[in-house]
């Protein structure tokens, strides 16, 4: 997959879990706005990616469908009663993690690329905890490396 038309930055994603449809601003992103929906399911292990070609495996914690209300995006009425979705969407965080302007995101139904046949969604990611190696583990790794010389 190439990220630009002039072939300056070509990269291939290695095999692994499914990729999300759009890139995130950073690999630590918690939210992603997808204007045309997705087939990914909650609880699935997926990979997020940046425009530079870096990937990270995360768990898709929630998938919040959105609907157009008075020309703005709002949480789907079926989800408002669910405790997992809550009453509001953290629009600033979603915009920052998705790499979009908040006003463009909230007023997506007026955007020229809006497709009324699709339902936009917000994906919420759960990042697995990766323990940092302690000094003892680094020392043992170094000793193992020396032993195998």
Which has more confidence, 149 or 140?
140
Domain count of the fold of the chain: 1
**Does residue 2 lie within any of the structural domains?**
no
Which domain, by its residues, includes 118?
Answer: 18-147
Average pLDDT over residues 5-20: 71
Token pair for 12:
């291939």
Task: Could you list the beta-strand ranges (E) of the chain.
Answer: 18-19, 31-34, 45-49, 55-69, 72-75, 121-126
Name the pLDDT band for 13 (thresholds 50, 70, 90): confident
Name the pLDDT band for 142 (thresholds 50, 70, 90): very high
Q: Return d(Cα 38, Cα 41) in angstroms, integer.
A: 8
Q: Return d(Cα 37, Cα 59) in angstroms, integer.
A: 17
pLDDT at residue 118 tops 90? no
pLDDT digits (tens, 9 = 90+) for 42-97: 999 999 988 888 889 999 999 888 887 777 777 765 554 554 444 577 889 989 99
**Does residue 4 lie within any of the structural domains?**
no
**Does residue 5 lie within any of the structural domains?**
no
Per-residue confidence (pLDDT) for residue 86, from 0 to 100: 44
pTM: 0.73
Helix (H, G, I), strand (E, B) or coil at 10: strand
Contact criterion met (CB below 8 Å) for 49 and 13:
yes
């Amino acid at each position: 997959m190439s990220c630009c038309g002039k072939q300056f930055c070509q990269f291939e994603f290695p095999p692994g879990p499914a990729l999300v449809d759009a890139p995130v601003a950073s690999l630590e992103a918690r939210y992603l706005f997808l204007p045309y929906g997705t087939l990914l399911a909650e609880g699935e292990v997926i990979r997020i990616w940046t425009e530079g070609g870096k990937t990270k495996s995360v768990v898709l914690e929630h998938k919040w469908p959105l609907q157009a209300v008075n020309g703005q995006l709002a949480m789907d009425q079926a989800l408002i009663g669910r405790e997992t979705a809550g009453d509001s969407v953290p629009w600033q965080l979603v915009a920052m993690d998705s790499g979009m302007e908040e006003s463009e995101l909230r007023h997506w139904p007026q955007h020229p690329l809006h497709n009324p046949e699709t339902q936009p969604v917000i994906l919420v990611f759960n990042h697995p905890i990766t323990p940092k190696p302690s000094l003892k583990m680094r020392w043992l790794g170094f000793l193992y490396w020396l032993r195998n010389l």
